[in-house]
Amino acid sequence: MIPILIGIVAIALVISITFFIVNRSRGAIGGGKQAKNQGAAIREANKRLAQNPNDPDALYVLASAYFDEGNWDKAMKTYENLIDNASGKIQEGEHQFEIYKRYGMSAHKLKMTEQAYKGLSTARTQRQDDFEVNYELGVLEFDRKNYEKAVMLLQQAGKQNPDSPAVLRYLGHALFRLKKPKEAMSFIRKAIDLAPDDKESLYTLGECYHEANQTEQALRIFNHLRADPVMGPDACLIAGTIHLDTRKHEAAIQDFEIGLRHQNIKADVLAELRYRLSTTYIKMNEINKAIPILKQLQAENSSYKDVNVLLSKYIELNANQNLQIYLMGSSADFVALCRKIVMTYFPKAKVKITNISVNKSEWADILAEIDTPKWSDLIMFRFIRSQGSIGELIVRDFHSHLKEVKAGKGVCISVGNYTEEAKRYTEARLIDLIEKAQLQAIFNTVDQKAAALKK
């Protein structure tokens, strides 16, 4: 019984192999015949064109052959020749639509936008239900930033082929650029399901979530893309920005630093990564880390945003710890510095601080009893943290406060300067205005004076 089974299996195997070989041979013969027939048609077309360069039938055969084999340059030129020199003969021809369509598609492959638009638009006047024409024109309109037209054409193409990843992709991207993130999401998600390697669409989906205030979903996508060699820098930039908006400064710094480790970063993305990393360090009062990044950015693009102003400001701050505390320190550190200034402001004086009040992060008022060998009085100090110009309104407010607490004199201290109106207001009033240069001198000696008092 077993030998009989072995024999049957062997015969079946021989028959299968023979059948496969015969079919393959027939295919090869068929393919050979097809190639042979196409070659013969091309040779015949060339013979006819030698006698008549504008022979429409010969041009059509030749153009179709070039198009089918993906020789877009020759296909476009041949279709163009057919349109320009044999237009009268093809106006009523059955191939007219196909000629304009393929001319436009060939031009699009060659990135010759005007010619592509002309050919495809002409084709669409004849047939508005052709998938390839609607899709190609939709992509052209997208590239020209005509997103509403692109959506209309791509929706038409989608009716003819609803599962085309390319149509879904461009339709989603166009809707996103029209500020319709929720509508865009559904198309982009379908496109990604059909083409999972489309990282650009995944990035745009993250942008859609971000625009729709779905921050967690957006961050999951951008964190996934941070290591991608192409989309990584952009993903790091937007992830860091999201973390900045939610005051997660350490997470933002990590995002920006990962982005800067990439190679071949686009110039605008590189500059923005450096800018945001440096300004995040500044927000964390780590000026010594921010300055080298700002210097590098300045060397590459000195006109980028306010980099020159920032660099000038924070180099000065980094060199003067007291100035840094005054402008950027915590409220407690700022008040502690102001107390030291009050205690050492008048030489050889006994000072008793009786009240401290802080107005948010704008200024601090300190009331002190001052007793010197020559005079005694109640003095009010106002320490203003702004670096800008201090106007008359703030000085008037300070004067009103002086009268409320019955202080004999006021000292208004700013790291900025005072307007002419503010200075005129204090001419007949017992208020001293201390500007940046005088305050810098105070900063330079206050620590030594405070240490001497403790002794």
Q: What CATH number is associated with residue 162? A: 1.25.40.10
Is 164 inside any structural domain?
yes
Q: What is the pLDDT of residue 89?
A: 54
Q: 385 and 367: one domain?
A: yes
121 & 252 share domain: yes
Q: Pick from 282, 219, 275, 268: which is nearest to 246 by CA?
A: 219
Task: At 404, list the tokens.
Answer: 């409320």
Q: Does a structural domain hold residue 3? A: no
Give yes or no: residues 303 and 391 share one domain: no
Q: How far apart are the C-alpha atoms of 334 and 385, rounded to whole Å?
A: 9
Cα separations in angstroms, 54 against 27, 42, 57, 59 = 36, 15, 9, 7
350, 440: one domain: yes
Quote the pLDDT of residue 27: 39
Q: Would residue 413 count as lying in a domain?
A: yes
> How many domains would you assign to the chain?
2
Helix (H, G, I), strand (E, B) or coil at 390: strand
pLDDT of residue 210: 94
Parent domain of 435: 324-454
Same domain for 229 and 311?
Answer: yes
Residues 134 and 275 in one domain: yes
Residue 372 within a domain: yes
Alpha-carbon distance of 432 to 412, in angstroms, equals 6
- Whether residues 373 and 442 fall in one domain: yes
Residue 6 within a domain: no
Per-residue pLDDT tens listing for the chain (455 residues): 444 444 443 444 333 433 333 343 333 333 444 555 566 767 777 777 777 777 777 888 888 888 988 999 999 998 998 888 755 555 455 588 999 999 999 999 999 999 999 999 999 999 999 999 999 999 999 999 999 999 999 999 999 999 999 999 999 999 999 999 999 999 999 999 999 999 999 999 999 999 999 999 999 999 999 999 999 999 999 999 999 999 999 999 999 999 999 999 999 999 999 999 999 999 998 999 999 999 999 999 989 999 999 998 899 888 888 998 998 888 999 999 999 999 999 988 999 999 999 988 789 999 999 999 899 999 999 999 988 899 999 999 999 999 999 999 999 999 989 999 999 999 888 999 999 999 999 998 888 887 777 76
Beta strands 417-418 and 376-384: pairing type? unpaired
What is d(CA 157, CA 168) in angstroms, rounded to the nearest whole number? Answer: 10
Query: Could you tell me if residue 38 is inside a domain?
Result: no
The predicted pLDDT at position 38 comes to: 62
Q: Domain ends where: 304, 321, 338?
A: 321
State residue 295's pLDDT score.
95
94 and 205: one domain?
Answer: yes
Residue 98 inside a domain? The answer is: yes
Question: Could you give the 3-state DSSP secondary structure of residue 450?
Answer: helix
**What is the C-alpha separation between 234 and 170, in angstroms, rounded?**
20
- Residue 19 counted as domain residue: no
Could you tell me the CATH number of the domain that includes residue 372? 3.40.1350.10
What pLDDT is recorded for position 170? Answer: 96
- Residue 37 confidence (pLDDT): 59
Question: Residue 125: which residues within 8 A CB-CB, separation 6 or more?
Answer: none
Quote the pLDDT of residue 2.
43
Please give the pLDDT value at position 21. 34
Are 86 and 101 part of one and the same domain? yes
Q: Cα 282 from chain centroid?
A: 21
Q: What is the pLDDT of residue 52?
A: 77
Does residue 335 sit in the same domain as residue 434? Answer: yes
Of 321, 348, 367, the residue that ends a domain is: 321
- pLDDT score recorded for residue 425: 93
pLDDT at 263: 93
249 and 375 part of one domain: no
Q: Let me know whether 202 and 71 are in one domain.
A: yes
Choose the final residue of a domain: 288, 321, 354: 321
CA distances from 289 to 283, 315, 351 (A): 11, 11, 39
Residues 344, 345, 351: CA angle, nearest 5 degrees: 65
